[in-house]
Amino acid sequence: MKTTEYISISDLCTNYNIEISFITGLYEIGLLEWEEKNKTQFIHVERIDDVEKMIRIHRDLDVNPQGIDVIFHLLKKVENLQDEVRGLQGRLHLYEDL
């Protein structure tokens, strides 16, 4: 495990001024994955954007980890539907050009 690609949970919580229990809650419901080395948990830096979104939702809207799970699930569905619409629009343009 390259340490430059990961941030420890404790550093993350310190930097964002959040409780470790919040991150643990996100992990327990499957929103976050972490690696463990020497009894220290690390999150991959590629997930920091998602973690920041989760923190903002939690702070700004006072949403618990279960609510954040629902929000992220719905956002993923919206993304998939938007992709599908773009694909269908592309196919429609092919038929319009005939």
Q: pLDDT tens for residues 77-88?
A: 999 999 999 999
Fold classification of 3-96 (topology level): Multidrug-efflux Transporter Regulator; Chain: A; Domain 2 (1.10.1660)
Q: Is 33 left (phi over 0), alpha (psi -120 to 50) or beta?
A: beta
CB 58 within 8 Å of CB 51: no
CB 43 within 8 Å of CB 11: no
- Please give the structure tokens belonging to residue 68: 């954040």
Residues 2-37 have pLDDT tens digits of 546 999 999 999 999 999 999 999 999 999 999 999
